[in-house]
Amino acid sequence: MHTITHQHELREVLHDACTSGTSIGLVPTMGNLHAGHMELVKTAKASTDCVVSTIFVNPLQFGANEDLNAYPRTLEADKNKLIALDCDFLFAPSVEDLLGAYPQQQSRIHVPGLSEGFCGSSRPGHFDGVATVVNKLINIVQPDKAFFGLKDYQQFLVIRKMVSDLALDVKIIGVETLRAESGLALSSRNNYLGAEQQQTAALIYRCLIDTAASIKAGDRDYNNLETSARDRLAGAGIKPDYFSICNAINLQAAAESESQFVILAAAYIGPSRLIDNIRFELGD
């Protein structure tokens, strides 16, 4: 695996390495890699000829009350994991290389509508930061496909819409969430939790499963289902941010006649804010 830290060098290396007909897969990450990230790389390896993973702790997606400096940086361990999967390139730029000397003066991309609820409300400007850096990585790497975990379903939709709106020549691939045996979605933020807290946090997924089952059984009182789930989480010592039953395409509140659902959840436990979701269609 070749590790590259400057965007101009990456462009040159990819130009030399990727001959005509070579397909490129992009796996953007912020590092502190876990099995979920590895699944993205495996999926990319299976469907493209050359895989570029990126590790960049993006300051543009952190809010004023979020501690950018506390985000875990485990570059050497991450490299070893990528090497074990035979990843072709690791792009690990500095902030200055990717965003210049004054990141806060960086031009931003805003994706209206999909960016503005849920995590967009809780973390103002977060998705502008995500969209800006993902757009920049796509422009640098020029991949045929880019791979994103579906655990952050809102982010996936935001990126997919950005790519469509800006006519970027890349296919966005969603990869299903990997889970611990308890059902807890794998996340770098789980590292902040003790073993008991991780078991408690698994209740988030159980609430999603149970709420989806109620809808499939014919319950259409979505407000009551959402309230019951939030109360159940709070009763276990988990602080809900949101628990919302939505249309899976546009994230609007689900209508009574809805057929394609996503239930989005975010909650605080200990020092971590965890997100999860479940998607289903009636008749599944």
Collapsed DSSP state (helix, strand, coil) of residue 145: strand
Strands 272-281 and 260-269: antiparallel
Catalytic residue among 2, 6, 34, 37: 37
Q: How many CA atoms lie within 13 A of 213 on its CB side?
A: 7
CB 78 within 8 A of CB 32: yes
Neighbours of 12 (CB within 10 A): 12
Give the residue carrying structure tokens 């950005």.
162
The greatest distance separating any two alpha carbons of the chain, rounded to the nearest whole angstrom, comes to 58
- DSSP per-residue letters across 199-238: HHHTHHHHHHHHHHHHHHTT---HHHHHHHHHHHHHHTT-
| Chain centre distance of CA 181 | 21
Collapsed DSSP state (helix, strand, coil) of residue 72: coil
Q: Angle between the 203-216 and 222-235 helix axes, to the nearest 10 degrees?
A: 160
Known active-site residue 37: yes
Q: How many CA atoms lie within 13 A of 63 on its CB side?
A: 11
Collapsed DSSP state (helix, strand, coil) of residue 260: strand
| Nearest in space to 174 (alpha carbons), one of 189, 193, 195, 159 | 159
- DSSP per-residue letters across 240-255: EEEEEEEETTT-PBPP
Amino acid identity at 116: E
Q: Which residues are catalytic?
A: 37
